């Protein structure tokens, strides 16, 4: 993982938001991206939904060991190009690269496991250096989000949302389609 630097202006403290309702994430039923009979690869796995050309608005991210909602009045975006990733961390713009690898294991029902989704690596290579003070805590939120983004090891689409997870299945980021 590449390190990233963010110039931080004086940030006010503030109460953190209560963690979002992640109980619903424990029994995910994903949206199938194909018709009732999805196309499969030669190995029998469904083809991975395309990430290139998709845009997302982050709704939850990990802070410490809890998934939390965004600070009121902030927006975090995530756009996938052809091997590139970009967006807004809530204050600064970021750019980087991503790569996916291996089969896409679609979660349908039962017990979620570490193999659900597909492997992904994310490398943030540039972050603008604007220091934002409003709303209070936005720079901390951005730092935690970028750290979670670079820690992503698996991705999947569930209920129409993008989920980024650690190798052992811990949720890092949930984003809904932009627009």
Reported pTM: 0.72
Residues 100-124 pLDDT 10s: 998 887 766 655 667 778 999 999 9
**Residue spans per domain, the chain:** 23-31+47-177
| Higher pLDDT among residues 38 and 150, named by residue | 150
3-state secondary structure of 162: strand
- Check whether 2 has a pLDDT greater than 70: no
Instruction: Assess contact for 171 and 67: CB atoms under 8 A.
Output: yes
The CA distance from 122 to 87, in Å, is 13
Structure tokens that stand for 125 in this block:
């290579």
**Nearest CA-CA partner of 166 in 178, 176, 156:** 156
pLDDT tens digits, 45-66: 567 788 999 999 999 999 988 9
Among residues 76, 69, 91, the alpha carbon closest in space to that of 136 is found at 91
* pLDDT of amino acid 32: 31
Please report the beta strands in 35-92, taking only residues with DSSP state E, as ranges in sequence order.
Answer: 54-63, 66-69, 77-80, 84-88
Higher pLDDT, 166 or 135: 166
Lowest mean pLDDT among 100-104, 113-117, 130-134, 152-156: 113-117
Q: Does residue 9 register a pLDDT over 80?
A: no
Q: How far apart are CA 36 and CA 12, in angstroms?
A: 51
Position 136 scores a pLDDT of: 77
138: part of which helix (H) or strand (E)?
Answer: helix 138-151
Instruction: Report the CATH number of the 23-31+47-177 domain.
Output: 2.40.128.270
Residue carrying structure tokens 């811990």? 170
As a whole number, mean pLDDT of residues 124-150 equals: 91
């Amino acid at each position: 993982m590449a390190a990233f630097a963010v110039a931080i202006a004086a940030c006010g403290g503030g109460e953190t938001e209560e963690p979002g309702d992640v109980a619903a994430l424990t029994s995910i039923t994903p949206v199938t991206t194909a018709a009732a009979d999805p196309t499969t690869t030669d190995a029998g796995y469904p083809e991975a939904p395309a990430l290139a050309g998709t845009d997302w608005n982050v709704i939850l991210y990990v802070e410490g060991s809890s998934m939390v909602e965004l600070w009121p009045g902030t927006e975090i975006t995530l756009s996938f190009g052809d091997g590139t990733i970009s967006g807004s961390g809530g204050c600064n713009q970021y750019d980087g690269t991503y790569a996916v690898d291996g089969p896409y294991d679609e979660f349908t029902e039962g017990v979620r496991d570490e193999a659900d989704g597909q492997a992904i690596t994310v490398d943030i290579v540039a972050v603008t250096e604007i220091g934002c003070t409003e709303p209070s805590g936005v720079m901390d939120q951005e730092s935690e989000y970028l750290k979670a983004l670079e820690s992503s090891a698996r991705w999947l689409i569930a209920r129409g949302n993008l989920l980024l997870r650690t190798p052992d299945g811990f949720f890092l980021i949930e984003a809904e389609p932009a627009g």
